[in-house]
Amino acid sequence: MKLNPQQQEAVEYLGGALFVLAGAGSGKTRVITEKIAYMLQSGYKPHHIAAITFTNKAAKEMQERITQRLGKERTRGLTVSTFHALGMRILREEAGHIGYKKNFSILDSSDSAKIIAEMLDTTGREAIFKAQHQISLWKNNLLEPAQVYALCEDEWQTQIAQVYTLYQETLLHYQAVDFDDLIRLPAILLRDNREVRQKWQTRLQYLLVDECQDTNACQYMLLKLLTGLEARFTVVGDDDQSIYAWRGANMENLRRLQEDYPQLKVIKLEQNYRSTARILRIANALIGHNPKLFPKTLWSNLGEGEAARIVACRDETHEAEYVVGQIQANKAIYGANYADFAILYRGNHQARVFEETLRAARIPYQISGGQSFYDKSEIKDVLAYMRLLANPNDDPAFLRAATAPKRGIGDMTLGKLNEYAKAHECSLWAASGSLNALAELSTKSREAVQQFMALLRDYQLRAAQDAAGDVIQDLLADIRYEDYLIDLNAENIKSAENRWRNVQDLCDWLRRKSDEDGRNLIELSQTIALMTLLEGKDGEEVDAVKLSTLHASKGLEYPFVYLVGCEEGLFPHADSVEEGGLEEERRLMYVGITRAKQQLTMTYCKKRKRAGAWQYPEPSRFFDEMPSDDVVQSGRGQGAAVSQEQGRKNSQALLAMLDRKMGK
C-alpha cells in the first residue's frame, strides 16, 4: 500500500528534530520502518541508526518488518530495541565509569521487594509496593537519594527516602541494578561524562523513538543526551494516548520538545486505517473535551459503519451474560474467530465474572497479564544459577540457588553466613569461601557449603567459554534438578513433568541463542533478565476471546470490542477523579474506543456489588460527551436492556434462523 502524503513527508524529512503526531491506527510503525529504509538508501550506515520502542514485542515486530523490507545484510548493525535494552548495552560497555563490573545482575521486582521489605522490617505487601513505587518515581524523575529528602512531605516519605539511600548502597554492593536503573544510570553517566557522551553521540547518529508520549523524565533526558545539539531524531507519538502517568510517564515531555527544540517540525498523521467513521467520530468528540497540545481529527475511508451501542445491564452477572451472548451471536453472523473479540475493563478484578460466563459457554479466552514463562518457579531457579555464575556478588541469586534443590544448607546456616557477610561487608559467595565464616558452622553444614561452592566454581570456569545451554544442562544433571522437581510434586507427577519440560525449553533457547550470535551464559543472563522485566506476559496467539485491562490493550486492535463497567466510580475511576486525573481517564476511554475496528459496545450496570453491599452507580459521564447520532442506547432510564432469560431466547432464535438459512 502506498504511503499517504503526510506519511511520505515524515519518511523523507531529515532536516532536524521531527515530531510525528500519529493518531490511533494511522500507520506509525510503517512510517518508522519506511524511514529507516529511506535513511539507509540515503547514505546512513545501519550501525549509526537506533529505533527505540517500549516493549520487546514492538521491537521484534519492527525488526522483522525492516528485515523483510531490506534483507538481513543491508540491516546488519542496526539497533532496534527498547529503552531498557539500549540502557543495558550502554551500561555493559561503560560499567567501569560508575563502579560496576560488566557482568552486573539485573534484579526483578520480587528481588527488589525482598530487599526493601528487609529494610522496612515488614511483610505487608501494600507497604512494600508503595515504597517500591515511590522509589521508582524518584528514579524516573532522575532524583538521587540525597535530593529527595528536601521533597519529602511527611514522615512516611522521609522513611522511604532513607530506604532509597540504603537500597542503592545495597544494589551497588550486590553489583546489581533494578529496572529503573537501566535508564537512570546511563542518563546520569552521559550527563556527567563528556567523553562517554560524545562517544555514543558519534556511534548513534540518528534516533527514532516510538510512543514518545509515554517517556518519563529519565528517558527524555537520555534522548536529549544521545542526540546532542544537532537533534537528529524523529519521535512518534500521540498526546491523546498518554495513559501511564501512574508509572512515571510525563506528557509534558511533548511540550518540552517544542521548548527545547524551537525548530521542531510537526507532521500530523490523521488518516486512520483501522476503524469506521462512526467509531472515529465518537473518539474525536470524546477527546475534544481535553485541552490539546497538538489538535488533530482522525478520519477514515473505511465507511460509516454501525452505530456504537451503550447498553444498561441489571448487574455484573447480567453484564457478562449479555456480552457473552453478543459474542456468540456475532461469531455466527459474521463467521468471526474468537480472537476477533476483546472484553476491555478498567480493573483486573472485573475479569472474574466474565471468565466464569465464558467457561460456562465453553468459549476459549485468554487473559492479558497471565503468568510469564520467566515467573515460573522452576525457571527462576535456573536463572538464579545463571545470575550467580555471572555475578558472584548477587546475594538474592545465591540464596535461591543454595536452596533449590535442598542440599543441607538451611536457614540457620544462611543466617550465619549472612551475619558474617554484613560484618565484613562482603557477598555471601565471599563469606562461603571464608575459613573464618565456615568455622562458625557445624561439620555437616560446612561440608554442604563447601560442596556447593566447589560446584559453582567449576561451572563458573565453563560459563565464560562453553555454550550456555550445555553448561546449564550439565549443571542441572549434577544437582539432580529433575529428581528435585519430582520430589517436590510427588502428588502430581504431571506437574513435575510440565515443569521439567519448561526447563528443557529454556535450555533449548539458550543453545539457539549461543549458536546464533555467540553470546555466552554471562551475557545471556542479562538478556533474559531484561526479557523477564519487559515482556507483556501474554502467551502465544491463540483463537480465544481476549480479556484485558484498558491499559494493557494499547497498541492492539479487534473487529469487536466490548468496553464494560462504564460507570462513575469505576470508569472514570473515583480515585483518578479525586486526584485530578479525569483527563487521563478520558484518554483511557479514547484508547479503548479506538481499539475497535468494526463494532463497539459499551456496557454499564445499574447496580454492582462491592464489599458485599449493593451500590447503584450512575452511567459514565463520558457517554454524555459522545455524539448522539453515532450511538444507540438501550435500557437507560428503564429496567435492564434485556432480561437474562430473554437474552437466551434471542440468542437461540438467532442461531435457529442462521441454521435455517444455511439449510441445516
Return the closest-CA partner of residue 395 out of 629, 153, 105, 164.
105
Please indicate whether residue 60 is annotated as part of the active site.
Answer: no
Label residues 218-242 b or e (16+ Cβ within 10 Å = b): bbbbbbbbbbbeebbbbbbbbbbbb
Distances (CA, A) of 124 to 127, 129, 396, 497: 6, 9, 20, 34
**Per-residue pLDDT at 109 exceeds 90:** no
Evaluate whether 191 touches 221 at the Cβ level (below 8 Å).
Answer: yes
Q: What is the dihedral of CA 221, 222, 227, 229, to 10 degrees?
A: 30
Evaluate whether 185 touches 222 at the Cβ level (below 8 Å).
Answer: no
- The pLDDT value recorded for residue 396 is 92
Please indicate whether residue 28 is annotated as part of the active site.
Answer: yes
Residue 343 φ then ψ, to 5°? -110, 115
Q: Tell me: the pLDDT tens digits for 194-222? A: 999 999 999 999 999 999 988 999 999 99
Q: Examine domains 5-91+183-269 and 299-364+542-662 and report if their fold is the same.
A: yes
What's the whole-number mean pLDDT along residues 227-252?
Answer: 85
| DSSP strand pairing (608-610 vs 613-615) | antiparallel
- What confidence category does residue 27 fall into, taking pLDDT thresholds of 50, 70 and 90? very high
Say whether 628 sits in a helix, a strand or coil: helix
To the question of whether residue 608 is assigned a binding role by annotation, the answer is: no
What's the whole-number mean pLDDT along residues 25-48?
Answer: 93
Q: Tell me: the pLDDT tens digits for 244-259? A: 877 777 788 888 998 9
- Give this prediction's pTM: 0.82
Q: Which CATH architecture has domain 105-174?
A: Orthogonal Bundle (1.10)
What's the whole-number mean pLDDT along residues 72-81?
Answer: 90
Residue corresponding to grid cell 472485573: 350
Q: Within 10 Å of residue 649's Cβ, how many Cβ atoms?
A: 12
Which position among 111, 178, 210, 214 bears the catalytic label? Answer: 210
Domain boundaries, the chain: 5-91+183-269, 105-174, 299-364+542-662, 374-536
To the question of whether residue 25 is assigned a binding role by annotation, the answer is: yes
- The pLDDT value recorded for residue 648 is 54
To the question of whether residue 22 is assigned a binding role by annotation, the answer is: yes
As to burial, measured by CB atoms within 10 angstroms (0-12 exposed, 13-18 middle, 19+ buried), residue 331 is middle
Evaluate whether 52 touches 86 at the Cβ level (below 8 Å).
Answer: yes
User: Rounded to an integer, what distance in angstroms lies between the CA atom of residue 251 and that of residue 217?
Assistant: 10
Please indicate whether residue 210 is annotated as part of the active site.
Answer: yes
User: Rounded to an integer, what distance in angstroms lies between the CA atom of residue 631 and that of residue 308?
Assistant: 5
Q: Top-level CATH class of 299-364+542-662?
A: alpha beta
- The pLDDT value recorded for residue 533 is 62
CATH, domain 374-536, list 1.10.579.10, 3.40.640.10, 1.10.486.10, 3.20.20.140: 1.10.486.10
Evaluate whether 216 touches 223 at the Cβ level (below 8 Å).
Answer: no
Please indicate whether residue 154 is annotated as part of the active site.
Answer: no
Segment holding 662, helix H or strand E? none
- What confidence category does residue 540 fall into, taking pLDDT thresholds of 50, 70 and 90? low
Of 106-120, 228-242, 495-509, 513-527, which range is least confident? 513-527
The CATH homologous superfamily for domain 5-91+183-269 is P-loop containing nucleotide triphosphate hydrolases (3.40.50.300)
To the question of whether residue 329 is assigned a binding role by annotation, the answer is: no
**Per-residue pLDDT at 641 exceeds 50:** no
To the question of whether residue 29 is assigned a binding role by annotation, the answer is: yes
Which position among 175, 215, 227, 241 bears the catalytic label? Answer: 241
- The pLDDT value recorded for residue 597 is 97
To the question of whether residue 477 is assigned a binding role by annotation, the answer is: no
Which position among 211, 381, 523, 567 bears the catalytic label? Answer: 211
Which position among 139, 232, 546, 595 bears the catalytic label? Answer: 595
- The pLDDT value recorded for residue 537 is 41
Report the share of the chain in percent with pLDDT over 70.
Answer: 93
Q: Tell me: the pLDDT tens digits for 627-637? A: 999 999 987 65
User: Rounded to an integer, what distance in angstroms lies between the CA atom of residue 180 and that of residue 142?
Assistant: 10
What value does the CA radius of gyration of the chain take, rounded to a whole number of Å? 27
**Per-residue pLDDT at 639 exceeds 70:** no
Which position among 8, 9, 29, 482 bears the catalytic label? Answer: 29
- What confidence category does residue 283 fall into, taking pLDDT thresholds of 50, 70 and 90? very high
To the question of whether residue 95 is assigned a binding role by annotation, the answer is: no
Which position among 6, 7, 28, 395 bears the catalytic label? Answer: 28
To the question of whether residue 65 is assigned a binding role by annotation, the answer is: no
